[in-house]
């Protein structure tokens, strides 16, 4: 029995096939939505570990993270200068 026959005849096989197709479509939509939302958040320089006041920072002390736009102050650094 092929897929078209299963879709034409009502029954358990058709309902399982339709539910699986709907689940796959929802998973694909959720993955696309998550990827689009993640790419929309800008990269900001943040501390990778605690630092004391006056400490000279090394490359290992900072990292780039994605944060929501509303959580980023106006004077935030967007890239790490070496």
Q: How confident is the model at residue 20, as a pLDDT?
A: 94
Q: How confident is the model at residue 7, as a pLDDT?
A: 78
Top-ranked range on mean pLDDT: pick from 19-23, 67-71, 72-76? 19-23
Segment 17-65, tens digit of pLDDT: 899 999 999 999 999 998 887 777 888 988 999 999 999 988 888 999 8
pTM above 0.75, yes or no: no
- The answer to whether residues 7 and 1 touch, using CB atoms and an 8 Å cutoff, is no
Q: How confident is the model at residue 23, as a pLDDT?
A: 98
Domain boundaries in the chain? 1-40, 41-82
CA-to-CA distance for 65 and 74, rounded, in angstroms?
16
């Amino acid at each position: 029995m092929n897929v078209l026959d299963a879709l034409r005849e009502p029954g358990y096989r058709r309902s399982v096939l339709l539910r699986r197709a709907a689940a796959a479509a929802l998973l694909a939509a959720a993955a696309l939505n998550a990827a689009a939302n993640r790419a929309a958040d800008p990269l900001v320089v943040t501390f990778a570990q605690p630092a004391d006041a006056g400490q000279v920072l090394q490359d290992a002390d900072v990292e780039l993270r994605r944060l929501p736009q509303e959580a980023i102050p106006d004077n935030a650094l967007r890239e790490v200068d070496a």
